[in-house]
Structure 1
Amino acid sequence: MDNTSTDRQPGDRRPTQEDRSARIAVTVFPVIIIAAFLIGFMFPEQTAPLAQYTSVALGIIMFAMGITLTIPDFALVLKRPLPILLGVVAQYVLMPAAAVALVFIFQLPPELAVGVILVGCAPGGTSSNVITYLAKGDVALSVTMTSVSTLLAPIFTPLLTLWLAGTLLPVDAGSMAMSIVQMVLIPVVAGLLVRWLLRRWVEKVLPLLPWVSVLGISYVVIAVVSGSADSIVEAGLLVLAVVVLHNALGYLLGYFSARMFKYPERVARTTSVEVGMQNSGLAATLAAAHFNPVAALPAAVFSVWHNISGGLLAVFYRYRSARQEKLEQTESLHSDAAR
């Protein structure tokens, strides 16, 4: 999440200590997550016992996310409902649809197919807010989109997974919904309460929270990869290709859906990041718990890739902003010279 101070106002993009800490975490994140992937792959027997605690790790990540939230983040729902609605609908319509299309095109086996679909049905990723900040998007809008999609996950993620993947493998939507409530909803609400009750103390630990997410997701990746090391050898490149395409489609569909509704560039960038970046830690944990380690493989690969691609996307958007500013300055100079 975008960790900003409690006096942050919606749309306020001034860098704070928490912002800088988050940027460092996101920059280093791909290196750490790749290292976690390699550890799980190279030492599967030694790291396999970690799998029994992945739900705890995810709960800690979600608790940290809840602590970063403030009331203004949710007040934005009333002030700007339409772009938030667009982002959430895109999250739970475009990404699942893209997942099903890729599963059909690549003719994935059932275990991998369910894993890809589950990633598509997951809410927004916890690092999307910082990527939005780096991409010069609308941070306040991003925080609210992630929060709303996360709180809706106990309903939409299991129902969509049942609807789209129920013919591939048995899906216990009720059990999955309960898991999401326990691992996501309760920790996020608990984090909100802690932020409200211990506001001054929380401000001191905010710079540490991005690292909680980094370490927590790394833990999940190690555990998931250790249980599917053999599958990585057999289908690693195929899964990577599907994940890269799924992620790219999310970015493109999110961006152009916002532009289609005439929203400004900053909102389009925000929607692009929100739709393209998934809570792959949740998807991996659910896949391992309700299906098998092979089904969790796409989410583990997504955890690695979407943080790398998110950073690259932010660089691209910042380049576009700099180029646009340069063009505007040149036009302004020419206009002044013509007078």
Structure 2
Amino acid sequence: MIVVFGAIGVIWPNSVSPVAPHIPELLGVVMFLMGLSLKVEDLRVLKSAPYSVLIAVVAQYLIMPLLGYAIAICLNLEPLLVAGLVVLGSVPGGASSNIVAYLAGGNVALSVAATSVSTILAPLLSPVLVLWLVGSRVEVDAGAMVTQILKMVLVPVFLGVVVQLVLRQVVERLAPVVPWLSAAALAVVIAGIMSGSSDTILQSGLIVVIAVMIHNALGFCLGFLAAKLAGLQERERRSIAIEVGMQNAGLAATLSSLSFGPLAALPAAVATIWHNIAGAIFASFLLKFRDQDGSKV
């Protein structure tokens, strides 16, 4: 669905351009639906295994922003694309990482907890990292970024959690359609962003795709390595590798578009498609290997 809507945004930009002014609200819908899916029991790992969550979050916010900056400089991307790749690296993990962690035989509870904690920390860490890494190349309004993340992420997620607690039975009945609603809203967001940079995508799309693919692959590898060096078990390594490699690309695309314009949103727009493809491939790769005790994970 996301691939189709993204293509529509590039090929027929005028058909979806009216969506562009409403992208923040649509992303808020996505995050609200994420809040609906979040259960208190999913966060028990914060008490039972805080060290694992700490490693996941530190790796997330240390590896990916620096990787984004280094790759952008090595590929000699123009300043706005540098900013876009850094924003992609500086946002929290995406909710789809939880599904991929399950498919890969990882620790799903750890993945959910790490995504939740990194999302809560995003208003503080994401703007600071972007300002630090690209503030000398482009103008960064860190204060505005904080406000945008609060409005588009934390408030909707909080409201989703509250609704889920108050109307638990209703939410449980809607649970099967929530992922589809979230995917549909995200697809419209990407179509709107793509429509604003359709000409540029055709000119510089290939190098951006390469940058996003390298960023994602190295994120998987370095995330796994960080978890291994931290002494964590195989299931935790898998979850952390996936959590680090897969970003909340929808947030990154919206944040980049609002802060720097549609060109800067291109890396994240590409990532909304590629991260899910790569996640499935990486999960299949991991499932071919056995845990250290020889049992299938």
TM-score, length-scaled by structure 2: 0.96
Q: Deviations over 1:185-244 (max 9, x none)?
A: 001111111111111111111111111221122111101111111111111110000000
Partners of 1:328 and 1:47 in 2: how far apart?
A: 50
Corresponding residue number in structure 2 for 1:73: 42
Give 2:120's match in structure 1, choosing from 144, 151, 155: 151
Amino acid at match of 1:133: Y
Indicate the structure (1 or 2) with the bigger Cα radius of gyration: 1
Partners of 2:284 and 2:292 in 1: how far apart?
A: 14
Partners of 1:319 and 1:100 in 2: how far apart?
A: 32
Partners of 1:276 and 1:220 in 2: how far apart?
A: 22
Corresponding residue number in structure 2 for 1:224: 193
Partners of 1:328 and 1:70 in 2: how far apart?
A: 30
Amino acid at match of 2:19: L
Amino acid at match of 1:130: I
For residue 290 of structure 1, report the CA deviation from its aligned partner: 1.3
Residue 290, structure 1, aligned to residue 259, structure 2:
yes
Residue 255, structure 1, aligned to residue 229, structure 2:
no
Q: Which range moves more in the overlay, 65-74 or 201-210?
A: 65-74
Amino acid at match of 1:234: Q
Which residues of structure 1 form unaligned runs of 5+? 1-31, 330-339
For residue 328 of structure 1, report the CA deviation from its aligned partner: 5.6
Corresponding residue number in structure 1 for 2:175: 206
TM-score, length-scaled by structure 1: 0.85
Partners of 2:278 and 2:150 in 1: how far apart?
A: 29
Residue 109, structure 1, aligned to residue 53, structure 2:
no
Contact 2:234-2:292 within 8 A present in 1 as well: no
Partners of 1:49 and 1:248 in 2: how far apart?
A: 35
Residue 85, structure 1, aligned to residue 31, structure 2:
no
Corresponding residue number in structure 2 for 1:174: 143
Corresponding residue number in structure 1 for 2:163: 194
Q: Deviations over 1:305-336 (max 9, x none)?
A: 00000011111122224x989x669xxxxxxx
Aligned residues: 296
Contact 2:43-2:109 within 8 A present in 1 as well: no
Amino acid at match of 1:95: M
Q: Deviations over 1:95-118 (max 9, x none)?
A: 001011101101110111100000
Corresponding residue number in structure 2 for 1:300: 269
Q: Deviations over 1:114-138 (max 9, x none)?
A: 0000000010012110110111100
> Once the two structures are aligned, what percentage of the paired residues are identical?
44
SS of the residue corresponding to residue 270 of structure 1 reads helix
For residue 263 of structure 1, report the CA deviation from its aligned partner: 0.8
Amino acid at match of 2:149: I
SS of the residue corresponding to residue 295 of structure 1 reads coil
Residue 269, structure 1, aligned to residue 238, structure 2:
yes
Corresponding residue number in structure 2 for 1:136: 105
Give 2:15's match in structure 1, choosing from 29, 36, 46: 46
Residue 57, structure 1, aligned to residue 36, structure 2:
no
Amino acid at match of 1:155: L
Amino acid at match of 1:252: C
Contact 2:84-2:265 within 8 A present in 1 as well: yes
